[in-house]
Amino acid sequence: MVAPAHGRRFLFSRDSLLMATLALAVAGAAVGSALLPAGVTVLGATLSGAMIGGQIGALAGSYIDQSLLGGSGQSSARGGPRLDDLHVTASTEGAAVPRLIGRARLGGQVIWASPLEEEILKNSSGGGKGGSSGGSTRSYRYYANFAVALCEGTITSIGRVWADGKELDLTQLTWRLYTGTETQAQDDLLVAHVGADQAPAYRGTAYIVFERMLLESYGNRLPQLSFEVFRAVDPFEQSVRAVVMIPGSGEFVYATTPVTRRVGPGQSETENAHTLQGHTDWHLSLDQLASTLPNVGAVSLVVSWFGTDLRASHCQVRPAVDNRNKSTEPLSWSVAGLTRSSAPLISHHDGRPAYGGTPSDQTVIAAIQDLKARGHKVTLNPFILMDVPEDNARPNPYDPDGPQPAYPWRGRITVHPAPALEGTPDKTGAAASQIAAFVGTAARHHFSIAGQQVIYAGPAEWSFRRMILHYAHLAAAAGGVDGFILCSELRGLTQARASASGYPFVDALIALAADVRAILGPATKITYGADWSEYFGHHPQDGSGDIFFHLDPLWASPNIDAIGIDAYWPLADWRDGRDHADWHAGHRVLHDLSYLKSNLVGGEGYDWYYASDADRDLQIRTPITDGHADKPWVFRFKDIRSWWQNAHFDRPGGIESATPTAWIPQSKPFWLTEIGCPAIDKSANQPNVFVDPKSTESARPYFSTGIRDDLMQRLYLQALTEGLDPTHPG
């Protein structure tokens, strides 16, 4: 195709264009050889008469050629490299069309292409000295329209694309993907070129169409393309209806517009666009979510502040930045009234920030609004990450002889010293005072909303209440949310007592739930994300025999809508080889969905437990029984059905109370606020651990070799989804 804006294509062959030049060059060489001396020195080089005559003749011939092609004696046109043939070679005849399962990098085959489109660029220049003559240059650009078949059948999506081995920036191209359905429509570009009656839809074949791809970077030819292609292997992706959106830290990770940081004079780098596949990381993530998990309707958006100490009385909860000197545009970082210059700085590990900074408030609002615009229900999930560096000298509530562990789990925040240790304030008023310092005194009336900003005018504290109330108001500024989580997994706080049976942090959560309800209204569902080892009760291992359903006052609160559980339950007890209990019980492979699902209502935490690490090594399993009231479900953290169906009775000193707790059986649903396991060998044995080199919590699952295992992660998720979702057909 010729681009008419810059002229038309000439119908001369390259040979005819050079004819006058070659002819006069030969004639000039002959004349020069006869008339000029044998050797003439020019600029230090000795030239023969034939050489000089040939050059003069060639110059004259070139002038004639240009004149024949439309030039004049007053100007000349000089042309750049140009293609002879604008046709594109199609795919290899008879090449096999691959089938894909899972994820793979595929080469594809060109299945349609139009002739190359030529664009002639003509640049005119002024006359020479005195303006008596002028000239122009002509250059050529070539564009390709073509389609590439990827594989047979329906795919989920594509990821990265490579051209001649280098990743292709898809944001700079016009392209359309057809996923290979049996109902896919014809592509408009093909229809425009060959007509609606001739353009195939390639139904049953996944393919991609590129429109006007500039070929300049590839030597004016189609590059060798390869594609990262995804295809679901079973209907599991269709059954996922809710996800947790992380990382939760990163100053602009949730920004819906591109943000850059200045790195030098006239230089900038991106803050939130780290692939060549789309607009921002946020938009690309949501687009991939829509294509991979098409039935997701609810998103839990995690937003993190940072805890500074495992001692409740010393722990501040505050936003932070990863770089004090960063300059960004068009957005500047701001959270809870702090700017980059006034915010705390995240600690460093191995010369780098240990975490990304707290997401800027305006990006959280934008993310909430974008999720809602895409049709998702949104739950806002305030989260605490512990910023306790390796070189700290802070007293450890769990160990009087050592400092606090580096980057620990938030569930370890507790009173100091911790319960069961000598000198602990547990069961005394001093525990209530320590927890009160953590909770803080920020009140609902200390906050106001101005446009999309949350203004705080309360005590100068960075406390738990300030974080939760800030995000409740931010959610209101965003237009409201469907759900709100009062943080999660604060087990060391919920299980600390101010008296024999008083739990002050539980009381604080109840008060916060009432405040959040007043801010967000009755339509917003509110819960607390309890750890799987916390939600069902407190069983202190202090020899007292006490059993308390310590969270029941919270679960029974009229401002709590669901029992939230971060459910990281063990669904396997697998070992290498054949000499282990589950093999002898008849199970032959770990990657067996029925085996994993059977352990939702069986196995560890339901039928039996390990009394010690030594027992685990030897697989000495102690049955879960109840010798007092014949209610083994009280000790089964997996037995959520019995927990839900029955009244609860505390057991101070091991003796069951005569009256039940405030929990009303079957009154509220469960929310599994988090589920999952690492993509690592045998992670179903211990799904709650993770590998993080900077953290003292870093660990492999029991008996894991540490090798990657994506199938294990997938099957674990599938087992919980199919086994616990009452709406799932399985």
pLDDT value for 279: 85
Report the percent of the chain where pLDDT is more than 70: 86
pLDDT value for 21: 35
Q: What is the DSSP letter of 79?
A: E
Q: Which amino acid is at 84?
A: D
How far does CA 284 lie from the centroid of its chain?
Answer: 9
Whether residue 307 has pLDDT greater than 60: yes
Q: Could you tell me where the beta strands, DSSP code E, fall in 153-181? A: 157-163, 166-167, 174-178
pLDDT band for position 448 (50/70/90)? very high
Buried b (16+ CB within 10 A) or exposed e, 689-707: bbeeebbebeebbbbbeee
CA–CA gap between residue 490 and residue 182 (Å, rounded): 51
CA–CA gap between residue 414 and residue 407 (Å, rounded): 15
Q: What is the DSSP letter of 216?
A: G
Asked whether 635 and 626 are in contact (CB, 8 A), the reply is yes
Backbone CA torsion sign across 553, 556, 558, 560: positive
**How far is the first Cα of the chain from the last one, in angstroms, to the nearest whole number?**
56
Q: What is the DSSP letter of 647?
A: -
Give the bridge partners for 177, in sequence order: 208
pLDDT value for 234: 79
Whether residue 340 has pLDDT greater than 90: yes
Whether residue 54 has pLDDT greater than 90: no
pLDDT value for 4: 31
User: How many helices and strands in the chain, by DSSP H and E?
Assistant: 17, 33
pLDDT value for 12: 28
Give the bridge partners for 183, in sequence order: none
Distance (Å) of CA 100 to CA 93, 147, 210, 273: 21, 19, 22, 29
pLDDT, tens digit, for every residue of 170-218? 888 999 999 999 999 999 999 999 999 999 999 999 999 999 999 999 9
Nearest to 438 by CA among 315, 598, 554, 302: 315
pLDDT, tens digit, for every residue of 231-244? 987 788 889 999 99
- My answer on whether omega of the bond before 235 falls inside 30° of 0, hence cis, is no
Q: Which residue has the higher pLDDT, 234 or 398?
A: 398
Distance (Å) of CA 216 to CA 83, 142, 144: 12, 7, 11
Q: Could you tell me where the beta strands, DSSP code E, fall in 153-204? A: 157-163, 166-167, 174-178
pLDDT band for position 291 (50/70/90)? confident
- At residue 594, φ and ψ (nearest 5 deg) are -65, -35
Nearest to 146 by CA among 204, 82, 197, 194: 194
Q: Which residue has the higher pLDDT, 67 or 665?
A: 665
Nearest to 354 by CA among 317, 378, 320, 325: 320
pLDDT value for 627: 86
pLDDT, tens digit, for every residue of 99-153? 998 889 999 899 999 999 999 988 766 555 555 555 678 889 999 999 999 999 9
Whether residue 80 has pLDDT greater than 80: no
Whether residue 579 has pLDDT greater than 90: yes
pLDDT value for 94: 76
pLDDT, tens digit, for every residue of 598-625? 999 999 999 999 999 999 999 999 999 9
pLDDT, tens digit, for every residue of 361-384? 999 999 999 999 999 999 999 999
Mean of the pLDDT values across residues 9-26? 33
Question: Which residues, 6+ apart, have CB-to-CB distance to 558 below 8 Å?
Answer: none
pLDDT value for 158: 92
Average confidence score pLDDT of the chain: 88
pLDDT, tens digit, for every residue of 342-357? 999 999 999 999 999 9
Range with the lowest mean pLDDT among 60-74, 101-115, 135-149, 446-460?
60-74
pTM here is 0.82
The 10 Å Cβ neighbour count of residue 123 is 11
Report the percent of the chain where pLDDT is more than 90: 78
pLDDT, tens digit, for every residue of 510-524? 999 999 999 999 999
CA–CA gap between residue 15 and residue 23 (Å, rounded): 12
Q: Which residue has the higher pLDDT, 583 or 37?
A: 583
Using CB atoms within 10 Å of the CB of residue 300, give its burial: 0 to 12 exposed, 13 to 18 middle, 19+ buried. buried
Whether residue 46 has pLDDT greater than 70: no
Tokens 């059905």 belong to residue: 641
pLDDT value for 493: 98
pLDDT value for 497: 98
Question: Which residues, 6+ apart, have CB-to-CB distance to 499 below 8 Å?
Answer: 427, 428
Residue 195: HSE in the Cβ half-sphere, 13 Å Cα cutoff = 2
